[in-house]
Structure 1
């Protein structure tokens, strides 16, 4: 008898006979979706996200059930958005051009990494260097955040890509009527943070690119360089920014 896990319901049918229906409790930690999706190709710093159908009561148990591997298990750290979304972030870059398997209990998914497009923004040298598969492909003159609007230091996976996008200073707390205000149609943009840091084409700052930092925190590139990067980078590829 599994009285702890089932409820017995008696139903009476037209014949007068009583039938017992077993209604089981919902499975624990039921997976609603895994990202990246099956068959998707992403960058080598892309996190794995598991979204659950219901709030998870025991986070440690859920974390222990999540495994990410290539030819061998991969190490990572865990974070949560509420009680229904678990994110695993790799401790090191994922192997390039490799299938990555995600397992959560009996649920299995698999995605693939790209060649590994790694960018390095040197805010002191005013350069943006892009390597693919470990080989430097392009060193671009760049401009970063000016004093008071410094570009954040760290490694950030590309979150989104936009062929065209509107940059509105109000989204980072600057009124349009301020001397620092702007409303600009941008091109070839990659989002690095939800706070508004992008890599993007900035023809208005070309004269400063390679020489001075004049942006409000974004990485400014020429139209040609930004288009090349947009065409080659994948969502999940890393950008490291430093002095």
Structure 2
């Protein structure tokens, strides 16, 4: 507001100066005018380039202030970026808004001004963070209010999605237990086994991503050959991704005796088949999974599902 107020003040001041100049030159004083009083100053003025005095008796036309110039709302290549979540999706309370542009953005501040986020819950404070010159993300400062409608517009693109119930999962290495709440009420408690020594599960707030009814987990995907001493290729069921680095909540019937007792996984949250199936069917995209009290450091905020560390 201060910048706009100053701009308007300067525009009015400039208009006043121009108007005053027009009135002055409108006097049509001869080149060698007499003083207004004996010994007084000569009131003759030098001509002002580009301004011609009107004829005597002709009123001076008003001088309009210059039209304000509005700052551009977005860069030239800001048409129809891809938006995530897409229209109609239902997501969890930790889900960020992801805007992917068709081309790199030169002026990030201009791009941010062209992105609007509104909610049915009123104003929700949040901030932008850039993953690259062609991808910016926005998330609230705290989790979204549950059961809220959110609309994001960016350039020519728009998406309206819904934040569902607040399903918050906490995995605590002190108790080796996973606790799931829905809108503040505990709905399930599950014993777990997390990452063993050398593969400790990082602490932090993860975001639920894709889900697989079954899949093969392969150590070669992060650089450890399957035939190496620490290598593996294991079939698992009910796998719910919580990091792009390969951490899942999944069924591990082979470690049931260790769940709730000791950590034996390569970083994933091992649970029973029954608990894994329940979580697979209950968790939704964007739900937070908070891991705490491990020796695994902090989840990388650039993981892609680690936005809450940024």
Q: Which TM-score band applies after superposition, normalised by the shorter structure?
A: 0.7 to 0.9
Gaps of 5+ in 2: 1-74, 294-310
Residue 170 of structure 1 aligns to a residue in which SS?
Answer: helix
Distance (whole Å) between structure 2 residues aligned to residue 157 and residue 226 of structure 1: 17
Aligned length: 218
Tell me the equivalent position of 1:53: 102
Pick one of 167, 173, 177 that aligns with 1:127: 177
Query: Which shows bigger deviation, 222-231 or 64-73?
Result: 64-73
SS of match in other structure, 1:171: helix
Where 2:138 maps in the other structure, the secondary structure is strand
Identify which range, 130-139 or 176-185, moves more after superposition: 176-185
- 1:181 and 1:28 mapped to 2: Cα distance? 46
Map of 2:116 onto structure 1? 67
Q: Secondary structure at the match of 1:54?
A: coil
SS at match of 1:214: coil
CA distance, structure 2, for counterparts of residue 77 and residue 123 of structure 1: 31
Q: Please, which of 22, 36, 48 is the counterpart of residue 85 of structure 2?
A: 36
Question: Following TM superposition, where does structure 1 have runs of at least 4 consecutive aligned residues deviating by more than 6 angstroms?
Answer: none
User: Following superposition of structure 1 onto structure 2, how do residues 163-182 of structure 1 map, counting pairs within 5 Å?
Assistant: 163-182=213-232
Higher radius of gyration, 1 or 2: 2
More RCO (CA 8 Å, sep 6+): 1
**Aligned to 1:165, what secondary structure does the other structure show?**
strand
Displacement after TM superposition at 1:173 (Å): 2.4
2:4 alignment partner in structure 1: none
- The answer for the alignment partner of 1:162 in structure 2 is 212
TM-superposed CA distance for 1:55, in Å, is 1.8
Shift of 1:106: 6.0
* Residues 1-243 of structure 1 mapped to structure 2, 5 A cutoff: 27-70=76-119, 71-105=121-155, 107-243=157-293
* Structure with a larger share of its residues in strand: 1
Cα offset for 1:45? 0.6
TM-score (norm 1): 0.85
Per the TM alignment, residue 69 of structure 1 is displaced from its structure 2 partner at its CA by 2.6
Shift of 1:78: 2.2
Residues 67 and 73, structure 1, Cα contact 8 Å, conserved in 2: no
Structure whose residues are more often helix by fraction: 2
Deviates more, 1:100-109 or 1:89-98: 100-109
Which consecutive unaligned segments of at least 5 residues does structure 1 have?
Answer: 1-25
Question: What's the CA shift for 1:77?
Answer: 3.0
